[in-house]
Structure 1
Amino acid sequence: MLQTRIPSPREIESPTQESASLEQTLSVVVSLIGRQYPVMIFVMCLCMGLAGVYLLTASKRYTGTAVLLIDSRKMQGLQTQAPAGGDSPIDSAMVDSQVEVLKSETIATSVIKQLNLLDSREFTGNEGGLLTSISDLFSGLFPEQRPSQDALMRIAIGKLASNLSIKRVGLSYVIEISYQALSPDQAARVANAVADGYINDSLESKYQASRRAAVWLQDRLKELRAQASSAERAVVDFKAKNNIVDAGGRLLTEQQLAEINSSLTQARAQRAEAQAKLERITSILNADDNDSKVILNDLATVTDTMNNPVITKLRQTYLDYAARQADWSNRYGPTHLAVVNLRNQMREIRHSITEELRRTAEVYKSDLAIAKAREESGQKSLNDTIALSNGTNQAQIALRDLESNAQSARALSDNFLQLYMVSVQQQSFPITEARVITQASNAPNKTSPKTTLILLAALIGGAILAGGVAILLDMLDRVFRTVSQVEQHLHTSCLASIPTIGSEQSVGLSGHPLLSKAGRLFNRRAKRAQPPAARPAPAQASGLPQRSELGSSFPQPHRDRLLTANDSVGRYVINSPFSRFAEGFRSIKLACDLSSYGSSNKVVGITSGLPNEGKSTISEALAQTVAQGGSRTLLIDGDIRNPSLTARLAPTAKAGLIDVVLGRVNWTEAVWIDPQTNLHFLPCVVSSRFSNSSDVLASPQMERLFQHLREHYDRIVLDLSPLAPVIDVRATGALADSYVLVIEWAKAKVDILERVLSETPIVRERLLGAVLNKVNMAVMTRYDIYSAGYYRNRYYERYGYVD
């Protein structure tokens, strides 16, 4: 009802609101339940009713259970050798496979034939119940032919499979066989018959398999023996043809190749050693003959020269002469005859050493040639042996294939011989791994329908469905019901929430010009309930300016132009000043006053999205509230297409806004006055509908008139046409300073208002705020969870509220 403040983004992201998210969520859920609880109760009752009908009409069914064990140890008595790992476990997938075998049509067919189930109506007809009764009722009108035996068998198999339940107990080898039937005896008989049928089918399948395997193995064994002998003969013939000799598990060519490779390695080492010696002694011989010191030092690095007695003796003599020559040179000088002779002798010794080295080098050349010849011979032998070995290896590839074929044929023959012996034994001792450990009994065990489970499922499902339906209906409810919706979708403040007047039978703000009988009775009671000081005083008794104080140009009241519609809806703010209705308009007035600071906001345009949303009533009530506050107030009916305000307040008016604009009368002669609040009203009198009403509102004459009126009035309330059907509001940009958008509560569509505001930028830019009209406060508390206590607070009476 009062002006609502839009929270800032900082407040929205505050930790306080984040911590209150759970509380808000719970509040939203509670609010949704409060709004949609009739639909939710209906849906839940419907689900519970359907569950009850099912429980009353469904046939009672009983379950018989037999327990089967897959025992892997039964076959050990027939095995000739025990497995290496002890007991041979049955694979988990094998147990699951046996479950599927139990569900097969073969077992079902044997059970049906064993128990003669084709004669039972439970397997070939309907099972009873509500649907069956309805079906039997109509089946007499349309006789059908009796199905064939095969068709009956298919029907019986389907019924048996639908009521049969086979499951493995955990990860064990135990299989549980359960069957549901209309009688406990029938359920037990079918469950036991399924277990017996499985055991008989297993025995029969094993016997037939063993018999077929024995016949086939006997014929196959003869072929395999012949193939094994032929493969072994082929191996022997191939070895003889390719000269493949095996000596101690190794071929002769492989032994020869290893020996030749070893000899070749030694020959290469000897050749390398001889070549190195020759190169070293050749480098010594190529050295400078005058450098005796270098020659002597190089000789020491050759092993053969050190072992040569001639070179050793010459080298020792040379060293003695060199020492003597150095001594005599120091004593007698380098030119002395003895020193010169020593030098000549040393030269002869070096020449002898060189000659001896040349003979040694020739020996090295001979050794190198021998080593090379030996190496070439070994390489040739190696190449010949490799070529022979490659041929043998190629033959060995084919030989290995032949040997592998021979071994495979012999192993396969031995394996088939063993299988044949086992197969013959199994024909004599047929046995199965399965055995029944618990027979199904015919004790009553009702399993269907499960009353508690069905009722619980219906309750939970009904609650979920009811919640879904409630959420869907709430999402489809695209109308304005709360202040927050107005602020969120229209991005403007909601100035007030105007409630309906009186009970739901009264017209309230429905757009009707007069209150209903119940509404008028409510007004009279409200007036009598007001204290004397709270009743509205006439303009003369209040502190408001008198008509004599308004100036000579201000229109004076005329007895033919006095507003006397005391039972008008807009007059309710005067008759019941302590009502929520009146408090809402004081909120709108306060918003208009606050917006006037710093700018001129004299002319306030009242409009709505669609017709019949109560904009004219809002205009009248707002003007009455402003006028009651002492301001010089003018109410103008600017809805030229449909001047409903004029028809309500001044139905006998002869001149109005159009006449003033056209210059037919002065505006002071067309104004009507309310003697109680001194409200001035300029009606709009039209003899026929205007097609160019927007041109009149946008005309220069209209703009000059409003400029003149601004000089005489403090506040001008302009009742405009709706936004959606006509474009008149778009032409009032030069007339109105701000706009107030009237929204009919629970009727105005969100999409329509968003569209019309986007198409009317002048209204969006100057929009002062919105007003929720015709609000049902009792219902609104179920939608606006945050202000529920605000809308319905019994302590408001302390502040004078009477509604």
Structure 2
Amino acid sequence: MTETNDYSPSNGGRAGETIDIQRLISVFRRRLKLFAAVAAVVFVGVAALMLRQTPLYTATANLQINTRTEQVVDSKAVLSGLTPETSVVDTEVEVLKSPELAAAVVQDLRLTEDPEFNARLQEPGLVGTVKSWVGLGVDRTAPTTEAGREAERQQVINVVGQRLSVRRVGLTYSMNVGFTSESPVKAARIANVFAEKYLESQLNRKLDATGQANSFLRSRLDELRQQVQEADAAVSNYRVANNLLSSQGTTLTEQEISAYNQQLAAVRAQEAEQVARLRTARAQLASGSNGDDVGEALTSQVVQNLRSQRAAISARVADMSSRYGPLHPDMVRSQRELADIDAQIQAEIRRIISNLEAQVRVAQERTASVQSSLSSARSALASNSGASVQLRELEGNADAARAVYQSFLDRYRQTSAQSGIEQADATIVSRASIPTKQSSPNVMLNLALSVILGLGAGLAAVVLAEMLDAGLGTTDEVERKLGLPAIGSVPLVASVAEPADRGISPIDFAVKKPLSVFAEAFRSLRTSINYAGGSQGCKIVVLTSALPGEGKTTTSVGLARVSAIAGSRVLLLDCDLRRRAVTRALGLNTDAGLVEVLQGTATLESVLKLDEASGAYILPLSSTTATQDVFGTQAMDELLGKLRGSFDLVLMDTAPVLALADTRVLAAKADMTILLARWRKTPARAINSAVKMLQQSGAYILGAALTQVDVNAQSKQGYGDAGYYYSEYKKYYTA
């Protein structure tokens, strides 16, 4: 036979199968003892460990980041205050957890001398969070070196830091600072000191920053003052060297030019006035005036006096002309006086004109002089323009140095004024009070946690046991793990026998109790064989297993007897050359058997044995061990051909597949092979290896059957299998 079956669980449409709760419950019931044992051990261990913990107390102080600060002076602080932002509050939480702050608390409270935090000072045998160090190699001798003392101090700081809990309250600017200790008083005191040290560290940071700023500004001011002095000296020396002396922001030359410009404008105006007066007088004289109407003549006292005299004489001449004639001596004398006065007036006018001309010349000379001085000053200013560029650069440098110096001086005055008025960026909203009840261990919580851990460990043990369980427990597992049809299940006699029947041998049980579930298992297996063979005649069936001790012999004998009782002509061949299991189980002692028939030293009819209990025929093995391959010979083929015509069912009890090659030879010659597996014992990997070997030899594997099944256990744990419902159909079987 070269036909092989291609049965696969996936062909049954199981790929889309959902989680089966009943199957999980069945697994749990099967592993209930393991679950209970592991859960109990873990629960007791965890509970004992937790309940032995030293009671601890937690005290909490509350801090708040200041969202508003007092502004005593109107100037910026050297170290700005904290901004009320989420990241800032979270950062301050980490600052509170810093080792530096813990070190300050340890030093302030001298916690290195406290046995609760210093493992070296603890008494042996004490139990607690920190005291768990005892017995773990802690050196109890006092350190003698500086490095040893520092290491011990660091250990205490670490322990204190582990006892500290700092958390932000929601999204507020508040922070809870908690500390856990074996003493409630100590817990409250340390929590408050942490809060105080935190505020103190904030003030110290600001004081240090202000002091450093003042120190820096003082040293910098000395340098800047020297720079300002040097810059001013450079400007002054350059002015003197280049005649660029100035007053009120301008150089002397510029001031001189400004004065000359003013003088030039004044003398030019005066010159213009003098020229205008002279030009007017000359124009009046040129127009025929006798000079009486000349402006200077009108204001001249001499001319006015002469005019007064002439008026008097003119009045007298007029009076005399009416009385005397022109030749009258008085008339002639008066006219002569009048002419003399006119001559004097003209002489005075000429003198005035001459004076105007002299004034014009003086004004012109003065203007020329001022113009000359102005030109000289401008020439000097032009000659100094190159030097002024350098001067402006020096003045700019001096101004810049002075501005920097002034800014540093102002900032120094501000920081000096701020010294002593620094404020912390947080405040203590509430100080830690002495706790009245322990924070840990929480007995109820620990017990609940112990239960949870125990249950979890138990479930983990169940899962692990299932993962490591390589055996087969149900027909579903047979199909799923092996990819073979499950064709039967042979129960363990002890699980189905009544107390009075416990002494019956498994080989005889099916005959003596034909209505038992044990006998029915063989009838079910026989039915599977009959239906698999169809309408053909004799069926040659190989019964084998992957490993020894799988119940092959019991199954072979039981199947042969049940089939014979049912009326079939059945032959059972003992093909296990090493163990001769069937021959021994039935108590057959013969000098000739199967091997001798194949070797031709005995006939088939002479070696066949009749099982009187059932009517089945047995072809045993003699005690002679075969030293050659007797099953792969032509004689074996001829024997099987002969048996086909004489029997309805030929069963061959063979050796394990993995142990010997004989079984594969026989399986290839048989019509079908049934693979037996011991319930929950035979590893699935071993069976799969056997399946591969049989398929490679060309054997047709009808399916797999479980043997030695404890139906009582399966009825509780084997959900999905027929044995699961054993308690329901048990009443159909009678003793």
Q: TM-score, normalised by structure 2?
A: 0.69
SS at match of 1:489: helix
Which of 680, 685, 691 pairs up with 2:622? 685
List aligned pairs for 1:558-637, cutoff 5 A: 569-637=506-574
- Residue 128 of structure 2 is aligned to residue 144 of structure 1: no
Check 1:598–1:227 CA distance in 2 against 1; reply closer, same or farther (3 A cut).
farther
Gaps of at least 5 residues in structure 1 are 238-401, 507-517, 525-566
List aligned pairs for 1:339-354, cutoff 5 A: none
The one-letter amino acid of 2:185's match is: D
Residue 60 of structure 1, CA deviation: 0.9
| 8 Å Cα contact 1:99-1:175 kept in structure 2 | yes
| 8 Å Cα contact 2:637-2:669 kept in structure 1 | yes
Check 1:761–1:10 CA distance in 2 against 1; reply closer, same or farther (3 A cut).
closer
SS at match of 2:645: helix
Which of 24, 27, 42 pairs up with 1:32? 27
| 8 Å Cα contact 2:486-2:703 kept in structure 1 | yes
Check 1:670–1:405 CA distance in 2 against 1; reply closer, same or farther (3 A cut).
farther
What per-residue deviation string (whole Å, max 9, x for no partner) do you get for residues 355-374 of structure 1? xxxxxxxxxxxxxxxxxxxx
Residue 484 of structure 1, CA deviation: 1.4
- Partner of residue 802, structure 1: 734
Residue 195 of structure 1, CA deviation: 1.7
- Partner of residue 447, structure 1: 439
Give percent identity, aligned residues only.
Answer: 29
| 8 Å Cα contact 2:664-2:699 kept in structure 1 | no
Check 1:454–1:674 CA distance in 2 against 1; reply closer, same or farther (3 A cut).
same
Residue 754 of structure 1, CA deviation: 1.0
The one-letter amino acid of 1:463's match is: L
Which of 98, 123, 126 pairs up with 1:104? 98
- Partner of residue 61, structure 1: 56
Check 1:226–1:172 CA distance in 2 against 1; reply closer, same or farther (3 A cut).
farther
- Residue 170 of structure 2 is aligned to residue 170 of structure 1: yes
- Partner of residue 631, structure 2: 697
Which of 645, 659, 666 pairs up with 2:603? 666
Cα distance in 1, alignment partners of residues 170 and 62 from structure 2: 13
- Partner of residue 12, structure 1: 14
Check 1:219–1:773 CA distance in 2 against 1; reply closer, same or farther (3 A cut).
same
Q: Which region of structure 1 is more displaced relative to structure 2, 785-794 or 187-196?
A: 785-794
Which of 99, 105, 126 pairs up with 2:122? 126
Check 1:419–1:639 CA distance in 2 against 1; reply closer, same or farther (3 A cut).
same
| 8 Å Cα contact 1:603-1:738 kept in structure 2 | yes
Cα distance in 2, alignment partners of residues 42 and 765 from structure 1: 46
Cα distance in 1, alignment partners of residues 219 and 513 from structure 2: 116
- Partner of residue 645, structure 2: 711
| 8 Å Cα contact 1:606-1:619 kept in structure 2 | yes
Check 1:130–1:93 CA distance in 2 against 1; reply closer, same or farther (3 A cut).
closer
SS at match of 2:436: coil
- Partner of residue 432, structure 1: 424
Check 1:628–1:224 CA distance in 2 against 1; reply closer, same or farther (3 A cut).
farther
SS at match of 1:112: helix
Cα distance in 1, alignment partners of residues 728 and 396 from structure 2: 105
- Partner of residue 464, structure 2: 472
Q: Which region of structure 1 is more displaced relative to structure 2, 639-648 or 727-736?
A: 727-736
Cα distance in 1, alignment partners of residues 723 and 676 from structure 2: 24
Residue 793 of structure 1, CA deviation: 2.5
Check 1:660–1:66 CA distance in 2 against 1; reply closer, same or farther (3 A cut).
same
| 8 Å Cα contact 2:54-2:128 kept in structure 1 | no
SS at match of 1:74: coil
SS at match of 1:704: helix
Residue 225 of structure 1, CA deviation: 7.6
| 8 Å Cα contact 2:53-2:127 kept in structure 1 | yes
SS at match of 2:487: strand
Cα distance in 1, alignment partners of residues 221 and 531 from structure 2: 112
- Partner of residue 255, structure 1: none
What per-residue deviation string (whole Å, max 9, x for no partner) do you get for residues 408-427 of structure 1? 98886665444323211111
- Residue 87 of structure 2 is aligned to residue 93 of structure 1: yes
| 8 Å Cα contact 1:656-1:683 kept in structure 2 | yes
- Partner of residue 643, structure 1: 580
- Partner of residue 197, structure 1: 197
| 8 Å Cα contact 1:67-1:175 kept in structure 2 | yes
Check 1:77–1:137 CA distance in 2 against 1; reply closer, same or farther (3 A cut).
closer
What per-residue deviation string (whole Å, max 9, x for no partner) do you get for residues 685-715 of structure 1? 133x3232xx211111222222222222122
- Residue 705 of structure 2 is aligned to residue 771 of structure 1: yes
Cα distance in 1, alignment partners of residues 203 and 643 from structure 2: 112
| 8 Å Cα contact 1:62-1:446 kept in structure 2 | yes
Check 1:455–1:478 CA distance in 2 against 1; reply closer, same or farther (3 A cut).
same
SS at match of 2:50: helix
List aligned pairs for 1:211-360, cutoff 5 A: 211-221=211-221, 223=223
| 8 Å Cα contact 2:116-2:130 kept in structure 1 | no
Check 1:422–1:432 CA distance in 2 against 1; reply closer, same or farther (3 A cut).
farther
Cα distance in 2, alignment partners of residues 578 and 738 from structure 1: 27
| 8 Å Cα contact 2:474-2:720 kept in structure 1 | no
What per-residue deviation string (whole Å, max 9, x for no partner) do you get for residues 27-74 of structure 1? 233223212222222222223212322333211111121112221423
The one-letter amino acid of 1:212's match is: Q
What per-residue deviation string (whole Å, max 9, x for no partner) do you get for residues 438-489 of structure 1? 1112242311112222222222233222222211111111112211122223
| 8 Å Cα contact 2:57-2:435 kept in structure 1 | no
Which of 650, 657, 660 pairs up with 1:726? 660
Cα distance in 2, alignment partners of residues 408 and 453 from structure 1: 74
Check 1:646–1:212 CA distance in 2 against 1; reply closer, same or farther (3 A cut).
same
Cα distance in 1, alignment partners of residues 52 and 615 from structure 2: 77
Q: Which region of structure 1 is more displaced relative to structure 2, 494-503 or 49-58?
A: 49-58
Check 1:408–1:474 CA distance in 2 against 1; reply closer, same or farther (3 A cut).
farther
SS at match of 1:605: strand
- Partner of residue 285, structure 2: none
- Bigger Cα Rg: 2
CA RMSD of aligned residues (A): 3.7
- Partner of residue 116, structure 1: 110
| 8 Å Cα contact 1:571-1:624 kept in structure 2 | no
The one-letter amino acid of 1:757's match is: V
Cα distance in 1, alignment partners of residues 534 and 398 from structure 2: 114
SS at match of 1:793: helix
- Residue 117 of structure 2 is aligned to residue 180 of structure 1: no
- Partner of residue 689, structure 2: 755
- Residue 671 of structure 2 is aligned to residue 737 of structure 1: yes
The one-letter amino acid of 1:615's match is: K
Check 1:522–1:701 CA distance in 2 against 1; reply closer, same or farther (3 A cut).
same
What per-residue deviation string (whole Å, max 9, x for no partner) do you get for residues 555-598 of structure 1? xxxxxxxxxxxx65333222112211111111111122112225
SS at match of 1:684: coil
The one-letter amino acid of 1:189's match is: R
| 8 Å Cα contact 1:592-1:601 kept in structure 2 | no
Cα distance in 1, alignment partners of residues 137 and 555 from structure 2: 68
Gaps of at least 5 residues in structure 2 are 1-6, 239-393
Check 1:133–1:225 CA distance in 2 against 1; reply closer, same or farther (3 A cut).
closer
Q: Which region of structure 1 is more displaced relative to structure 2, 607-616 or 204-213?
A: 204-213
SS at match of 2:507: coil
Residue 132 of structure 1, CA deviation: 8.1
- Residue 589 of structure 2 is aligned to residue 652 of structure 1: yes
SS at match of 2:48: helix
Residue 500 of structure 1, CA deviation: 0.7
Cα distance in 1, alignment partners of residues 652 and 42 from structure 2: 55
SS at match of 1:64: strand
- Partner of residue 48, structure 1: 43
Cα distance in 2, alignment partners of residues 437 and 55 from structure 1: 35
Check 1:147–1:667 CA distance in 2 against 1; reply closer, same or farther (3 A cut).
same
